[in-house]
Amino acid sequence: MKQFVIFLLFTPFCLVAQTSFEKAEAYFGQEQFDDAKPLFQQYLKEHPTHKKTREYLGDIAGYAKEWDTAMSYYKALVSEEPTNANFHFKCGGALGMKALEVSRFRAITYIGDIRRYLKTAAKLDPNHIETRWALVEFYIQLPGIIGGSERKAIEYANELQAISPVDGYLANGYIAEFSNRPDDAERFYKKAIEVGGSPHTYEKLTNLYEKNEQPKEAIATATTSLKKHKRNRLNYQIGKIAAQYNLNAELGIDCLQTYIKNHSVRDGVPKDWAYYRLAQIYKNLGKKKIALQWINRALTDRPDFKEALQEKKYILSL
């Protein structure tokens, strides 16, 4: 009887705590970070070792560009779980973002730690796509005198190729573009467009599989490959290439509209850039009226958008 009474006394508290955490997660999923943060902080007071709560608080700090706060959470998580690739990746990413906001001299002092965190993440998880993209960026943008290396950037781009062909082609195209090799860049980007497929291709292939309208083995292989490409950020990247290189307008429009529909702060690129790319594609197609609609939408979101203001001049001149 006593045990039953104790159970009744403590059960409401446990349910409230659980509900509070779940409510915070729901707010986080909806990107209502100001609502999620105090709930996570309260939960952490009651459960000071809870890793997921600390990771969420680190992520919220990162979205607010409070890099030192984010790092304080991530570093502690790395210390407690040194084999977790994602924690290492987030440490390297937060430190890298901080390096962009400080003086060049001070940023140099962060390079060793950024490299260490990212390379550890890549080693711990051979399929971690975001880490390899970060390493491509790291090595191609860093001056050679302090550790930059096109060769190393290409190595990680080729690792991406093995994990996800479309990512590999995009990364190699990015490296070639950065290194002023436009012909190579265009070649890689064309391959990315070829293998990228429409955002709806996976669903179409699945329907064919279910209806037995195509060989099952071929469709199984295709759908497995396409599942790897369903990250929303790829939709923007493919749309950007379609706009810049005047390639496969239909695919570019499809990808950019999907990007806008599924956009979240985690995607990194604001929606106004997607509107801008759609305007470019419609300009390439000679559809001036639709191009103006999209470029005006970009400028409504950001009136001082320099690239969009220039693009509007081109569109008006058609």
Is the distance from CB of 245 to CB of 190 less than 8 angstroms?
yes
Residue 105 is predicted with a pLDDT of: 86
CA distance 318 to 298: 19
The dihedral sign for the CA sequence 38, 40, 85, 267: negative
Please state, in angstroms and as integers, the Cα–Cα distance from residue 19 to each residue in 31, 51, 56, 57, 58, following that order: 18, 17, 16, 17, 21
CA distance 226 to 220: 10
pLDDT beneath 70: ranges in the chain: 1-19, 145, 196-230
CATH, domain range 231-318: 1.25.40.10
Tokens of 45: 């007071």
Q: Which CATH number fits domain 14-125: 3.40.50.2000, 1.10.275.10, 1.25.40.10, 3.40.1160.10?
A: 1.25.40.10
CA distance 66 to 101: 11
- On the CB side of 154, CA atoms within 13 Å amount to 10
Packed helices 2-29 and 33-46: angle between N→C axes, nearest 10 degrees: 150
Tokens of 122: 């890549």
For the chain, domain boundaries? 14-125, 128-196, 231-318
Q: CA 37: distance to chain centroid?
A: 22
Amino acid at 265: V
Matching CATH topology for 128-196 and 231-318?
A: yes
DSSP character at residue 125:
-
Residue 19 is predicted with a pLDDT of: 67
Residue 239 is predicted with a pLDDT of: 93
CA-nearest of 136, 148, 132, 47 to 85 is 132
Is the distance from CB of 185 to CB of 176 less than 8 angstroms?
yes
CA-nearest of 77, 75, 61 to 28 is 61
CA distance 219 to 213: 10
CATH, domain range 128-196: 1.25.40
H or E, element range at 213: none
pTM here is 0.78
13: burial class by Cβ within 10 Å (0-12, 13-18, 19+)?
Answer: exposed
Length of the chain: 318
CA distance 137 to 150: 10
Is the distance from CB of 160 to CB of 136 less than 8 angstroms?
yes
Neighbours of 179 (CB within 10 A): 14
Residue 76 is predicted with a pLDDT of: 97
- On the CB side of 235, CA atoms within 13 Å amount to 28
Is the distance from CB of 84 to CB of 124 less than 8 angstroms?
yes
Is the distance from CB of 92 to CB of 77 less than 8 angstroms?
no
pLDDT digits (tens, 9 = 90+) for 194-223: 886 544 444 444 444 444 444 444 334 333
CA distance 82 to 29: 26
Is the distance from CB of 263 to CB of 235 less than 8 angstroms?
no
